[in-house]
């Protein structure tokens, strides 16, 4: 390509359903989840350069090689000036860092005219992080393995959600490390998908997240936020990923979305839609 600059949207995601099946010998956990991409997004600005550099605005993120966006450029072996316009907070269960990395992979592939084959791109994404392959596809998908085995699903577009963003950072590793009680029968993402997407209006299958109880035990402020929101808006909220964001479907709410505060925890509220 002749252009020396490109902008790529990096969408957030929510987990409409998240089951943890078991812990693997390598220490990771086997998942069965339904991911849905949102119209809330970061903007990733990429420019050709001799080496990799990273700047950001909005939410604070690391600006060195620990950032997945930087590591994605390194994986391609090209230089780039990367600027992130962050609208997705870190530690929120919305996949912002993974989405940024996927945007860097696809954006630099276009910017440099590399023509990387799909299988190779997925392998690069998988090597960087478990959620990144999903963001190469987006939409709605069933994700298995450690989240890296992606099966696109039809019918997920245009669902409207209320998204809560508490001012709490939750470390994914800490939540998975505290997870216990993985015994008995596990719930199935495929069953959830059929029941949720097959039933219009009320009465659909409820959202589900195996990690919610553990995350709320580790961070009691999360439970306080959820319980206050459920009283305030008259709807059941579900945690996304390992937290700290919660969501519910707009149609199920009895009160309009509005920001609030609980015990010193400020909660930003967004209306979002699946894309």
Catalytic residue list: 13, 131
Question: Are the beta carbons of 93 and 243 closer than 8 angstroms?
Answer: yes
Beta bridge partners of 46: 6, 82
Q: Counting beta carbons within 10 angstroms of the beta carbon of residue 262, is it exposed (0 to 12), middle (13 to 18) or buried (19 or more)? A: middle
Residue with tokens 């220490």: 27
Q: What is the token pair recorded at 13?
A: 């995601």
Collapsing DSSP to helix, strand or coil, 37 comes out as: strand
- Overall size of the chain counted in residues: 275
d(CA 28, CA 30): 7
d(CA 197, CA 188): 14
């Amino acid at each position: 390509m002749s252009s020396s600059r490109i902008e790529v949207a990096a969408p957030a995601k929510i987990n409409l359903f998240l089951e943890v099946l078991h812990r693997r010998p390598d220490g990771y956990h086997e998942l069965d989840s339904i991911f849905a991409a949102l119209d809330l997004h970061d903007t990733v600005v990429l420019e050709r350069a001799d080496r990799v550099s990273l700047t950001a605005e909005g939410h604070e993120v690391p600006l060195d090689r620990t950032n997945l966006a930087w590591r994605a450029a390194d994986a391609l072996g090209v230089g780039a000036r990367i600027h992130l316009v962050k609208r997705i907070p870190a530690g929120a269960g919305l996949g912002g860092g993974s989405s940024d990395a996927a945007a860097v992979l696809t954006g630099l592939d276009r910017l440099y005219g590399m023509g990387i084959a799909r299988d190779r791109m997925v392998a690069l994404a998988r090597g960087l992080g478990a959620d990144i392959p999903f963001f190469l596809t987006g939409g709605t998908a069933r994700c298995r393995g450690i989240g890296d085995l992606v099966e696109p699903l039809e019918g997920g577009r245009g669902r409207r959600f209320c998204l809560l963003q508490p001012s709490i950072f939750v470390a994914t590793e800490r939540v998975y490390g505290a997870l216990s009680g993985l015994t008995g029968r596990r719930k199935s993402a495929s069953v959830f998908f059929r029941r949720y997407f097959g039933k219009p209006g009320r009465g659909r299958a409820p959202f589900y997240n195996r990690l919610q109880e553990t995350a709320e035990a580790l961070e009691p402020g999360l439970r306080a936020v959820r319980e206050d929101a459920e009283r305030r808006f008259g709807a059941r909220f579900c945690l996304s990923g390992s937290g700290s964001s919660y969501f519910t479907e707009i149609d199920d709410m009895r009160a309009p979305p509005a920001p609030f505060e609980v015990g010193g925890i400020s909660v930003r509220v967004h209306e979002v839609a699946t894309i």
